[in-house]
Structure 1
Amino acid sequence: MSRDGKLMDMLTGYAASHQHPFNVFLHMIGIPTIMFGVLIPLTWASVDVAGVTVSLAHVVMLAFFVFYLTLDTLFAISFLVLAFVLTYFAGVVGAKPLAVSGSVAAAAFFGGYAAQFIGHAVERSMPVLVKHPVQANLAAPFFQIVEVFKVFGLRDELFNALQAEIERRRREKPAAMQ
């Protein structure tokens, strides 16, 4: 599958259940919040490499970045900026006593997921997480970067093609069920 085909396939699968503006809004808050909640405990595992502290949070964000590079360079670089900010603040919180950092991590993680489930209840769609947990956790941060581009009216041709593909798949789905 080509790079463009891989990007469109991933976005179409995820975007199809994220059409309601309120759901998208809650995801734009919830996904980074969940990431923050996950990154905090990942900062607890770290090593010093040539005087620079490298945590498991850095390694995970770098892995996401490398995967996203296979989809789209501009979106991947934009993700890297978000990842840097979240990882930095996760490190600040992660350095606090365990009772504090653990509580913040849990509140962010569960609060972010609560926001997502509320959004899906409003949209009346099954969260992708329920059907495909690994795919959802890989796609969600990337999709939030894509949504930021959409909000600012950037890459409109991609969003037009994405919406057309979602509509095409919805038309084909009932025919495939008969």
Structure 2
Amino acid sequence: MTNLERLLSQYAAYHLDRNNIVTHFVGIPLIVFSILCLTARAGVEISGFSVTLAMVLIVLSSIYYISLDKLFGVLMLILFALVYPLAVNIAALPMWSWLGASIGIFVVGWVFQFVGHFFEKKKPAFVDDLIGLAIGPLFVLAEFVFLLGLRKPLHERILKEAQMKRAEMDMKAHTVS
């Protein structure tokens, strides 16, 4: 099992309900976008070029995602590049408008997340493993790719492993109660 399969199947074990996955299609992009908005305002000028904290986060997370899977990593980088200009525009708003929009988007994203976990009847994955915060965006991208009917063998391996992990989680929950 590759590192990608291990991480995605661990995350997927908390996300087997279709309603939960759908809410994550909205919630996670909103949360990631809000973080870009919040961090696009902090930066430095280097030889007349503005380097923002958001850019640094995009580069570092893209390197991480590419190290896990080249296709998913490049797709994630493309998505980041597409939304970055909008994040910069929001960061350029007056202080309270920028903060209000960024925090508002963040809160709405988390509301979607928690509604999804209500359907799932499971806590979010990051509660047990903080790497879930980094894997969430990759999970949503992978689920979208799988929804398009692409990379079926990978999807089947992840789903099979996630179902086994979920069964183990459920068994532990029953023995503790």
TM-score for both structures, normalised by structure 2: 0.90
Q: Which residue of 2 aligns with 1:30?
A: 27
User: 1:24, CA displacement in angstroms?
Assistant: 0.7
> RMSD of aligned C-alpha atoms?
1.8
Percent same amino acid among aligned pairs?
29
SS of 1:100's partner is: helix
Q: Which residue of 1 aligns with 2:141?
A: 145
Deviations 1:40-65 (A, max 9, x none): 12111112233322100000111101
Q: For residues 120 and 170 of structure 1, do their structure 2 counterparts lie closer, same or farther at Cα, with a shift above 3 Å needed?
A: closer
Q: Which residue of 2 aligns with 1:93?
A: 90
Q: For residues 167 and 36 of structure 1, do their structure 2 counterparts lie closer, same or farther at Cα, with a shift above 3 Å needed?
A: closer
Q: For residues 171 and 39 of structure 1, do their structure 2 counterparts lie closer, same or farther at Cα, with a shift above 3 Å needed?
A: closer
SS of 2:14's partner is: coil
SS of 1:47's partner is: strand
Structure 1 runs not aligned, ≥5 long = none
Q: Which residue of 2 aligns with 1:168?
A: 164
Q: Which residue of 1 aligns with 2:105?
A: 108
Q: Are residues 1:78 and 2:71 paired?
A: no
Structure 2 runs not aligned, ≥5 long = none
For residue 120 of structure 2, the aligned residue among 112, 120, 123 is 123
TM-score for both structures, normalised by structure 1: 0.90
Residue identity matched to 1:139: I
Q: Which residue of 1 aligns with 2:11?
A: 14
Q: What is the rounded CA distance, in whole Å, between the counterparts of 1:170 and 1:60 in structure 2?
A: 31
Q: What is the rounded CA distance, in whole Å, between the counterparts of 2:122 and 2:167 in structure 1?
A: 17
Q: Are residues 1:54 and 2:51 paired?
A: yes
Deviations 1:61-108 (A, max 9, x none): 111011111110000000001111222211110001011110000111
Number of equivalences: 173
SS of 2:51's partner is: strand
User: 1:34, CA displacement in angstroms?
Assistant: 0.5
SS of 1:48's partner is: strand
SS of 1:25's partner is: helix
Q: Which residue of 1 aligns with 2:66?
A: 69
The answer (yes or no) to whether the contact 2:14–2:123 under 8 Å persists in 1 is yes
User: 1:171, CA displacement in angstroms?
Assistant: 5.0
